[in-house]
Amino acid sequence: MLQHMELQTIKRTIAVGWVALMVIVALTARVSWPLQFVIAALGVLPALALLLLWNEPAQTMTQAINEARRNR
């Protein structure tokens, strides 16, 4: 359970950092405001993919056996 929380924290930290970086880049770039909006919006896509697609590794057979023994 602890590892699950650590993975969630890592994922959120990376996603928030990426979105913040893209917003800063969009605001400091010398382009029109519609292009700034596009840059910021495209910055959200990798963060969203990270949060939705990065899953925990599958449980190994040894872990499943140990969990079954503990819950017995």
Residue 61's pLDDT is 92
Residue 16's pLDDT is 92
Residue 19 structure tokens: 């979105």
pLDDT in tens, 4-52: 568 888 899 999 999 899 888 888 888 888 888 888 788 888 898 988 8
- Judged against a pLDDT cut of 60, whether residue 72 lies above it is answered with yes
Residue 5's pLDDT is 67
pTM assigned to the model: 0.66
CB neighbours of residue 36 within 10 Å: 17
How far apart, in Å, are the Cα atoms of 23 and each of 4, 14, 51, 68, 69?
A: 29, 14, 18, 47, 49
Report, as an integer, the average pLDDT of 56-72: 87
Give the residue, 30 or 2, on which the prediction is more confident.
Answer: 30
Give the residue extent of every domain in the chain: 2-70
Long-range contact list for 58-64, CB < 8 A, 24+ apart?
none
